[in-house]
Structure 1
């Protein structure tokens, strides 16, 4: 009998382009970072992810999404939680060169749990 892996729940606000790439990757992996994006920022709570999706992604792209996913806890423990504002503004900083390894430690699917703004029908999930 296989022992269940202990996981850490992560959230990530995303715009429509990254969401399309997630779909192309079958909701299993995050796409590679662009050269001007040296860090991948999953956040620790849904509230903060929703704030970013609504306040940053909607103005920039017309819509924003909140995703959630599980990562093996032993792997996530290597990344220190960073406080970047208010009490709930907490995130992990994953260097872009470690994203492939990070993806290898995702357990299950990446799921969309909220959307904001004018969501095109082609982006609707679930």
Structure 2
């Protein structure tokens, strides 16, 4: 059995709807203005983004959790985004299909922040 890494993704209602439509299996393609897909390494960081960014921007924010094959993630460095507590992977949009193929199991919502 492949080793996995637990990742979190803060998301708004539109992206979450697309994940749900996929059967909770894949992340939707990036929009042209979104060259990177950035899952984060801690639930706390995902909560901060979902609560402080997604709620004001779209009325609600969600924290998702999912497992990704470690072997796939080993091809990417963890990036620090504004502090040691803000760690994330930067997956180029053109690699998202391969990233989705490396997800083990389903994407699940673990926190929700309504207005």
Confirm whether residue 53 of structure 1 aligns to residue 47 of structure 2.
no
Counterpart of 1:109 in 2: which secondary structure?
strand
Q: After the TM superposition, which residues 35-114 of structure 1 pair with which residues of structure 2 at under 5 Å, given as runs? A: 35-114=32-111
Gaps of 5+ in 1: 119-126
> RMSD between aligned alpha carbons?
0.6
Where has structure 1 moved over 3 Å in runs of 4 or more? Answer: none
Q: Could you tell me the TM-score, scaled by structure 1's length?
A: 0.89
**Deviation of residue 86 (structure 1)?**
2.2
Deviates more, 1:89-98 or 1:78-87: 78-87
CA distances 1:75-108 after superposition (whole Å, capped 9, x unpaired): 1111100011122100000000000010001000
- Long gaps (5+) in structure 2: none
Paired residue total: 115
